[in-house]
Chain A
Amino acid sequence: MNAIALSTEHISKHFDHFVAVDHVSFSVRRGEIYGLLGPNGAGKTTTIRMLLGLLTPTSGKGAVLGFDIVKQAEAIRQRVGYVSQKFSLYPDLTVAENFNFYGGVYGVSRAALAERRADIFRTIGLSGQDQERVSALAGGSRQRLALACALAHEPELLFLDEPTAGVDPISRRGLWDLLYALAARGASVLVTTHYMDEAENCHRLAFIYRGRLVAEGTPQEMKTQQMVAQVVEIDCEPLDAALTVLRAARWFDEVALYGALIHAIGQNVAEKISPARALLQSKGVAVKSAQVILPSLEDVFIARLRSVDVDDPISE
């Protein structure tokens, strides 16, 4: 069996004069969870739609499970699952009816469906909700059902387009447990997300920005190799005052709140720690700790996007 589940070579998509995807090349191995990260409109969804044969690439080529994305879209669709951004479920149908319908359109027999339904619903936490109407389900349950429907035909590759937008942390953990279990069985997953803590869950990931793939690697590689700047994490109080003081000092390229901490990003930050401490304390801010840390994925992400903007400003 081929070890590569999906690959693209310089794939591009133009809409009129707008370049949505610009020479993107990447590959996903079997059993791998691969994350595509990027702001809204960066080209993530367009990329997925090309891989599914919904859009024809303007140039470049791609293969999914060994099939050409342009010529063999039918064969691809039979073997992959897709959960789109919108919950694509029928609100007037019950949970079981939705599942059976999606299984049915892939030609799964009724007997097999009943068995899989029990199985998947148990893992995904939908047991006992078979007869509930989808319109009455909470957002998290809907999202789990959407995933269950995409799994009804046991796809070898799963495309998830922002599967966890608006889903609470507990449901999100359940979802990821399921993805890991799938990957362990040899299925591959391509997932787009906005949650940086979620991106850490991926085996490998890529940043996509303005249609281009600007960085790729494991989460660890991203943090250690992709970041030219360094990060100081400051635990202090009150935060708002500290933020104002540090920004006004202009010692760092960026000063941002990160949860209840401040991340100050810049060059040679180690030397700036003690002056920063002194400055904050002189303004009445109590500093508990300040140290250079490995940047978070969010830091890397934002720094990387900023550098793209600096190198190639948007001409408008």
Chain B
Amino acid sequence: MISLQGVTKRFAAITAIRDLSFTVQAGQVFGLIGPDGAGKTTTLRVTSTAMNPTAGRVTVGDIDTVRAPEAVKQLIGYMPQRFALYPDLTVVENLNFFADIFGSPRAQRAELIARLLGFARLTEFQTRLARNLSGGMQKKLALAATLMHRPRVLLLDEPTTGVDPVSRREFWDLLTEIHLQGVTIIITTPYLDEAERCTRVGLMYRGELVACDEPRTLRDGLGATVLEAQSAQALQARHAVEKSEGVLTVSTHGDVLRLLVDRAERAAALQAVWQANGITVGNVRVVRARLEDAFVLMLTRHDKT
């Protein structure tokens, strides 16, 4: 459905994305993750026709974004990171405006808007000014506006940033509905638990695609074991083993230590180090890897090479 071939985008001195190639199959939910400034937003922008690539080719539904941007625009819905609706218009006025832009026929409009309002659970707030909506509701309204012209492809740039967990859950429920209708979605997110819900994940770093696979494969193909342990002196416990053999990364989360080690058998050696240092560490166990572990490990490895 979407294909990038050798895409590069330069801004003056900065190369935002470099020789980027990947494809997204129809019906996929493709998650783009990576640190700030990795090029995620630029990738979405060149796909959305908001920007032309410096080099390379982007196609959406086999249509070239540079040659036929108007045709591509009919296919895609793009939701930028910043709230791009009008704060001084009401929910319904905003939707009406977008209906105008996309030239949706008057006759079907009322029904379409009613359906979108119902979909976004905004029906009872339709006369409220957009600026008086909560953060989560603003995101849902933006999503509804993006769906106005029934796009086949959705490009969502950090739609859940700054949104509380309850609203985040609701937003993802909406995305699941859209996904089930067969719409192809590319989404960027800083939340890796969200990335786990994508059918495919691309990890970007410094303008390049470092890894791209199903989340399960990324997580399981980590090539490392995750250990968790508990200690009241978590910080000291961490410093004691940071440089130990086989330890890839250590992080502390309250009184919980999370260690990435090359193999599970390292646990005994680690306990010995802690004992030697007089640090009590209990409940050492192997836990399921998370995408975040894969993310951190891949980027540390990438930096070393």
Contact = CB atoms under 8 A, between A and B. Distances in A.
Interface of A: 38-42, 138-141, 162, 165-171, 173, 176-177, 180-181, 184, 194-197, 200-203, 218-220, 239-240, 243, 256-260, 298, 301-302, 305
A173 B197 contact: no
B60 interface: no
Contacts of A302: 165-166, 169
A302 B38 CA distance: 32
A258 B164 contact: no
A283 B270 CA distance: 46
Nearest to A38: B164
Given A168-B190, A302-B169, A39 B164 contact: yes
B253 interface: yes
Given A40-B134, A200-B254, A166 B190 contact: yes
Contacts of A256: 169
Contacts of A38: 164
B269 to A, nearest CB: 24
A259 B216 CA distance: 11
Of listed B33, B191, B235, B295, residue having the most chain A CB within 10 A? B191
Nearest to A162: B162
B161 A259 contact: no
5 contacts: A40-B134, A169-B296, A176-B253, A240-B180, A259-B291
Contact of A257 (B163, B197, B215, B255): B197
Of listed A42, A168, A177, residue having the most chain B CB within 10 A? A168
A305 B165 CA distance: 11
A298 B161 CA distance: 16
A130 B211 CA distance: 32
Contacts of A39: 134, 136, 164-167
A297 to B, nearest CB: 9
Contacts of B235: 180-181, 184
Nearest to A218: B254
Contacts of A260: 196-197, 215-216
B198 to A, nearest CB: 9
A252 B34 CA distance: 35
